Amino acid sequence: MSLKNILEDWSKYRKGREEGGFHEYEHMWGMAIDLDKCTGCNACSVACYAENNLAFVGKERMGKGQGMHWLRLERYWDEPDLGESTVSDYQYHGASFVPTMCQQCNAATCEPVCPVAATYHTPDGLNAQVYNRCIGSRYCSNNCPYRLRYFNFYSYYEEAWPAPLNMQLNPDLSVRDKGVMEKCTFCIQRIRTGKDAASREGRQVRDGDIQTACAQSCPTKAISFGDLLKMYDPSSKVADSKTAGLWRKHQVQLGKTKQNKQTADLRGYRILEGLNTDPCVMYLERVRDV
Which chain residues interact with another protein by CB under 8 A?
1-3, 5-6, 9-10, 13-17, 21-23, 61, 64-67, 72, 74, 76, 100, 106-117, 119-121, 133-139, 141-143, 145-147, 150-155, 178-181, 272, 275-276, 278
Instruction: Give the start-end residues of each E strand in the chain.
Output: 29-34, 72-76, 96-100, 119-121, 127-129, 150-151, 181-182, 223-227, 268-269, 281-284
Nearer to another protein, 232 or 239 (CB): 232
Which of 157, 150, 158 shows the shortest CA–CA distance to 134? 150
Q: How far is the CB of 89 from another protein (least distance, A)?
A: 18
SS3 sequence of 139-200? HHHHHCCCCCCEECCCCCHHHHCCCCHHHHCCCCCCCCCCCCEECCCCCHHHHHHHHHHHHH
Contact between 281 and 30 under an 8 Å Cβ cutoff? The reply is yes
Q: How far is the CB of 167 from another protein (least distance, A)?
A: 25
Residue 118's CB: how many other CB atoms inside 10 A?
Answer: 20
**Nearest-10 Cα torsion for 55, 150, 210, 271:** 140
Nearer to another protein, 17 or 242 (CB): 17
Contact between 175 and 166 under an 8 Å Cβ cutoff? The reply is no
- Cα–Cα dist 131/121, whole Å: 14
- Cα–Cα dist 129/237, whole Å: 27
- Cα–Cα dist 114/183, whole Å: 14
Contact between 18 and 136 under an 8 Å Cβ cutoff? The reply is no
Contact between 50 and 242 under an 8 Å Cβ cutoff? The reply is no
- Phi and psi, residue 51, nearest 5°: -70, -35
Supply the Cα-derived Rg of the chain in whole angstroms. 20
